[in-house]
Amino acid sequence: MIKVLLVDDQMILAEGMKSVLETSSEITVCGIACDGVEGVNLAQKLKPDVILMDIRMPNMNGVVATKRIKELNPKIKIIVLTTFDDSDYILSAINNGASGYLLKDIGSTALIDAIKNAYAGDTILPAKIAKKITDAAMMVSTDKEIKLKKAYGLSDREVEIALMLNDGFTNRQIASAMKLSDGTARNYISSIYSKFGVENRAAAVLKIKELI
């Protein structure tokens, strides 16, 4: 049974999600928190497998709550569920440990599937959300792109991925955002390491920061 904690300041929506999720025999809702502070406290107390986390809430927003929960218990999977598809929120949530990002217009079946997939370790990023991340990654200054290309001979795709590495994206998140297989993403990253003359992510990021 997958234990789910709901964190949302709109109780009517939270109760509705609870009813939807519990139509699945594999899911139980162990609690509902009305803001980020209560979400952090209940996450410690109830130890859910998956959390559905709203973004805009009083006292503590979902991005900060996600970061604190993941610091306290990295095993908990957190899916950000919100009405806002702003790329800054997407990047902040993912970079602070969220396993995925869904909009509240998602259907009941898709929501249940997302919970199961997150529990299984998948990154949950619908196509339009992945596009937001890709667009955000591509919105870099021409100056940065030119520096990376001139200094290390990176291709356009490698420049995009290098900048995502610099922003803290994991290999899986890069693959999802760029619509690549995990293997292809790893190949691109290995090529970047080779051109930088380094052997790991930390050294690669240091090279990027020194340049840009």
The CATH number that applies at residue 15 is 3.40.50.2300
Same domain as 195, residue 103:
no
Residue 92 within a domain: yes
Q: Six-digit token pair at 99?
A: 């396993």
What is the mean predicted confidence (pLDDT) over 131-147? 68
Of 73, 96, 126, which marks where a domain is finished?
126
Residue 131 within a domain: no
If you count them, how many residues does the chain have? 212
CA–CA distance, 21 with 27 (Å, rounded to integer) = 6
First to last CA, the chain: 47
More confident residue, 70 or 123: 70
Which range marks the domain in which residue 64 is found?
A: 2-126
Per-residue pLDDT tens over the stretch 68-84:
999 999 999 999 987 76
Same domain as 162, residue 114:
no
Strand partners, 5: 31, 51
DSSP 8-state assignment for residue 25? T
CA–CA distance, 146 with 127 (Å, rounded to integer) = 29
CATH number at residue 160: 1.10.10.10
- The pLDDT value recorded for residue 88 is 67
Residue 6 within a domain: yes
Contact 57, 30 (CB under 8 A): no
pTM of the model: 0.64
Contact 5, 34 (CB under 8 A): no
Same domain as 121, residue 22:
yes
Residue 132 within a domain: no
Same domain as 120, residue 19:
yes
Residue 9 within a domain: yes
Q: Six-digit token pair at 151?
A: 């200094």
Summary mean pLDDT of the chain: 89
- The pLDDT value recorded for residue 136 is 65
Residue 26 within a domain: yes
pLDDT above 70 covers what percent of the chain? 92
What is the mean predicted confidence (pLDDT) over 168-183? 89
